[in-house]
Structure formats: C-alpha cells, structure tokens
Amino acid sequence: MRRTRLTTRLVTGYAAVGLVAVAVTACGSSSSSGGSGTSPSASTSVDAAAAALVPAQFKSGITVASDETYAPIDFETTSGSITGFDYDLGQAMSKELGVPFTFSNVTFDSIIPALQAKKYDVVMSAMTDNKDREGTLDFVDYYQAGTSFVVKKGNPENLTALTGLCGKHVALEKGTTEESVVQGASTACTKAGQAAVTIDSLPTDTAALLEVKSGKAVADINDSPVASYIAQQSGGTLDAVEVASLGNAPYGIGVLKANNGLTQAIQAAFEATVKDGTYAQILAKYGIASGSLTTGTIDGATS
C-alpha cells in the first residue's frame, strides 16, 4: 500500500545499524531524483531464458521509480544511498536479466503519473496491486503484506480495528491504499451516527510518524512489515498493532500495459530469484520472510 521514503528523513531515526551498513533500496518527490542506485549490468548468474524476454528498448537498462521513506522496504542510508528490500531485489533481478536497474527517489503519489509520462520504466515501491491500479499498470506480485496501526507504546487508545478510529485524528501518507481505507472507515463512522475520522494525508510517511510521536495523531496506518520495523527501531516509544480484519494484499512491480514484454521479463527474473534462493536471502536479511511468495503472479489483486 505505499509511500515516499527518506532523504532528510527519519531513516535517520528508523534505519537499523546493520541495514545502514549495507547500501541497497509503494504509495517525483521531493521530486523525482532524491537519490539513485544502479545495479551491475553483467553477472555470471544471468538467467538466459529470462534475459531473452527483455524487449530491445530495455536492453541498455531499466529505470525504476521508488519512494524512499518506507523502511525496511525502501529507504536511504545516512549517506543518501538508496537501500532496502526493493532495491536489493532489483539488484538480484538485474543480475538475472543482465540489464542494469537504476533506482530514483520519487514521491509515492507521483509515481504512476511519472510512469505514464515515460520518465521511468517500472515501479518498485511497496505498491499494493489492486484492481483500481490494474486499470493503469500491470503488476508482477512479489510480496504479501497486511496492515497495521503505528501507535504510541502501550496503544493508549486501544486501537485494534478501523471502527475504533471514529472521532480520532490519524496521519498517513498521501496516495496510499491506507488513505482510501481510512476515508472509507470515516464514511462508515458518520453513517453509523459517530464522528468522522480526522485524516492528515501527508507527503511522506515520515511526516505522518512525526504526528504520532508528537501526540497530534493517535495512529499512522502502514503496511505490516513497515509498521513492525518502525516499532522495533523506535527505542520503545511506538508499537505496531495489526488490523487483522483487513487481511493481506500483494505488492506488485508495476509496468505500463503497453510494455507487456517487459512485464514478462520482470516476472521471469523475479521467479529466477525465487528458484536460486536469492529472494529468500533478501527476505531474511530484512526480517520480513512472513510475506514471501513462490510465484510472480501478474495482476493477482482480488479487490
């Protein structure tokens, strides 16, 4: 469901020491070039079958839009290098295809328009594959994530479900699926005769977290692996509370529908990383193996 990550931001506060030592990378950003990383263009691990699927116009390289304020999926090191699960997976897929992947930091709500303007070729940004987005992009699904509240330690408002948000103030990142989910919850509150949810839709998830830390908002709503990571890195000041009723949804690598050949190549490259064990190693590195997939389904959204 996702986001835009950190340049001056709190990866800073939320990147674990072990991850900061490794240079790697949702919902144009600070604009569209806050940081970039390029993976090697050649490797002895090239998967010949996957590489053969790459259309001619992408043989020289694939450009990737990614919002870098969503640790541990997408973020920046203290030196400004893009890192995280998506970037590492992009590097691994680059090696499978023998084609360089160049990542750029793009604010989450600008990513799809940037692809439509052909500024970038694909999106890897913890972006939820849903039916609405499938109207614009094709997605190769590569991870399953749930949804959680990020709240102050001890969950003082006892938030466990969307119905508990009525009359409360929440913060989240603009353009994410969480935004539409909370807007729907607010409508349900008023239909039930309760007060609406006050929603602050902010440019970055970092800004939303600051509202929770300051007490302005009672919760930030995030994907479960990100919420858990934030809580782990908060020094005991924040908790993550899963919203079980929302279930899981897939992250997808998004490609313009006109570039179907590239979609097929991305799918083959992802599945090659699953087969050779690289995908599992990357998941383990970031502690998010619970959302692993075994196949790269194209457009696998159910809602």
Report how far residue 167's alpha carbon sits from residue 162's, in angstroms, rounded to the nearest whole number.
11
186 shares a domain with 103: no
Indicate whether 4 belongs to any domain.
no
133 shares a domain with 255: yes
158 shares a domain with 104: no
Which pLDDT belongs to residue 44?
A: 52
Q: How many domains does the chain have?
A: 2
Which pLDDT belongs to residue 36?
A: 52
205 shares a domain with 181: yes
Q: Which of 67, 81, 101 is nearest to 226 (CA)?
A: 67
Residues with Cβ within 8 Å of residue 41, at least 6 apart in sequence: 61, 94, 98, 99, 100
- State the pairing for strand pair 198-202/147-152: unpaired
158 shares a domain with 233: yes
* CA separation, residue 143 to residues 153, 239, 299 (Å): 28, 23, 13
Please check the confidence at residue 43 and state whether its pLDDT lies above 80.
no
276 shares a domain with 175: no
Indicate whether 296 belongs to any domain.
no
Indicate whether 111 belongs to any domain.
yes
Residues 159-195 pLDDT 10s: 999 999 999 999 999 998 899 999 999 999 999 999 9
Report how far residue 35's alpha carbon sits from residue 75's, in angstroms, rounded to the nearest whole number.
10
198 shares a domain with 66: no
Edge-to-edge strands, sheet with 122-123: 36-38, 101-105, 62-66, 122-123, 249-256, 137-145
72 shares a domain with 172: no
Please check the confidence at residue 247 and state whether its pLDDT lies above 90.
no
Q: Which of 107, 90, 87, 98 is nearest to 50 (CA)?
A: 98
Indicate whether 137 belongs to any domain.
yes
Residues 118-137 pLDDT 10s: 999 999 999 999 999 999 99
Please check the confidence at residue 295 and state whether its pLDDT lies above 80.
yes
Which pLDDT belongs to residue 273?
A: 98
130 shares a domain with 29: yes
Residues 46-101 pLDDT 10s: 999 999 999 999 999 999 999 998 999 999 999 999 999 999 999 999 999 999 99
Please check the confidence at residue 42 and state whether its pLDDT lies above 80.
no
Indicate whether 297 belongs to any domain.
no
Q: Domain of residue 256: give its range.
A: 11-145+250-291
Indicate whether 302 belongs to any domain.
no
216 shares a domain with 264: no
Average pLDDT, the chain: 87
Report how far residue 226's alpha carbon sits from residue 147's, in angstroms, rounded to the nearest whole number.
9
Q: DSSP code of 196?
A: P
CATH code: domain of residue 62: 3.40.190.10
- 245 confidence band (pLDDT: 50, 70, 90): confident
191 shares a domain with 104: no
51 shares a domain with 153: no
* CA separation, residue 61 to residues 39, 55, 99 (Å): 10, 11, 5
State the helix-helix crossing angle for 85-97 and 260-275, rounded to 10 degrees: 100
- State the pairing for strand pair 249-256/219-223: unpaired
